[in-house]
Amino acid sequence: MRVSLAGGSQAVRSPIGLAALVPLVIVSGWLGWQIAAGTRWETDRLNPSDAILFRDFAQAVRSVEKGADPSRVYPVSTHDGIDPGAGMTPLEAAVRVEESELIRALLHYGARADAPERQRLACLALSLGDEGTVEILHDGPIEELTCD
C-alpha cells in the first residue's frame, strides 16, 4: 500500500474542514473534561438510609451485607419533600422512595420494625399511593389499615 505524506498546507485551503473541526474540539474538549472530572469511579460512602434516599440501593444493600445495622436510625441529608429530622431507618427510606423490592430485601437482611412502626410505614406508603409496599408491611386487606 503506497502512503503519501502530502497535506501540510491543506489546512489553510480547507475552511469547511476547519469549521467542522475547531468548534468540535473546543466544545467536546470542554464537555469531555467536565464530564470526566465529575466521574468519580468510586462508590460514594453514604450510610444505608442516605444511600437509599439518593437511590443508591446497591450501596445500601452492600453496607447491610457488610455489617451495617438495617434497623438503626441513620442521619440523612436534606432531600426534596423529606424532612431529615432526627434521621430515619433504611426501611423508612425505602418506603419514601417507593421501592417495594428493596423493602423485601431489607426485611430479608433482618430489618426489624415493631407493629406500630410497621403501621406508620404502611400508612406512609398508602399516602404515597404505593399499594405494593402496603401489602408487604400490613397484614390483612388494605381497607383495614387505620391511618391517622
Partner 1 sequence: MAAGAEAPAADQAQPASVWTAVAYAVGLAAASVVAVYVAHIPVQLSDSLGNLMQIQDVGYRELFGAHVRNHAYVRPMLWVQIKAAFDLAQGHYWITFKAIHALQLLATAGLFVRLLRVRSFSDAAIVPLTLMVLFGLHTFSGTVREAFPVNGFLTIIVVVLAAVNLSVSRPHWTNDVLAVGLFAFGLLTVESGLLVVVAVVAAWMAGLRGISRWGVLACVALMAGYFCLRFGALGLGLPGLGERGSGYGLSALDPDELVRRFSANPMVFYAYNVVCSFLTVLFSEPRAGVWLFVRRLVEQDEVPSWMVVNLGSSLLATAVVARYGIHAVRRWWAGQSLHGDRVAFVSLGILTASAVLSFGYTKNVMMSAGGVFFALLVYEAVVDLSSGFERMRWAPRVLGLAVVMALSVSWSVRAAGLPVLLREAAFETRNDWATVYQWLEDQGLGPRMPRAAPLVEQLRTEALDMPVPNPNIGTPNFYRYFDLD
Binding mask 100-129 for partner 1 (x = CB under 8 A): -xx-xx--x---------------------
CA distance 91 to 102: 9
**Do the Cβ atoms of 46 and 79 come closer than 8 Å?**
no
- Count Cβ neighbours within 10 Å for each residue of 75-96 and write b for 16 or more, e otherwise: ebeeeeeeeeeeebbbbbbbbb
Dihedral sign for Cα 114, 51, 126, 108, please.
negative
- What's the closest the beta carbon of residue 147 comes to partner 1, in angstroms? 26
CA distance 70 to 23: 52
* 23/112 with CB nearer partner 1: 23
**Options 48, 49, 60, 137; binder of partner 1; rule CB under 8 A:** 60
Residues in 3-22 that interact with partner 1 by CB under 8 A: 3-7, 10-11, 13-22
The label of the residue with cell 428493596 reads 102
Q: Candidates 25-33, 85-93, 117-125, 137-145: pick the segment binding partner 1 (CB under 8 A).
A: 25-33
* 61/113 with CB nearer partner 1: 61
CA distance 76 to 51: 9
- What's the closest the beta carbon of residue 144 comes to partner 1, in angstroms? 25
Contact residues: partner 1, CB under 8 A: 1-7, 10-11, 13-25, 27-28, 31-32, 34-35, 38-44, 54-58, 60-62, 99, 101-102, 104-105, 108
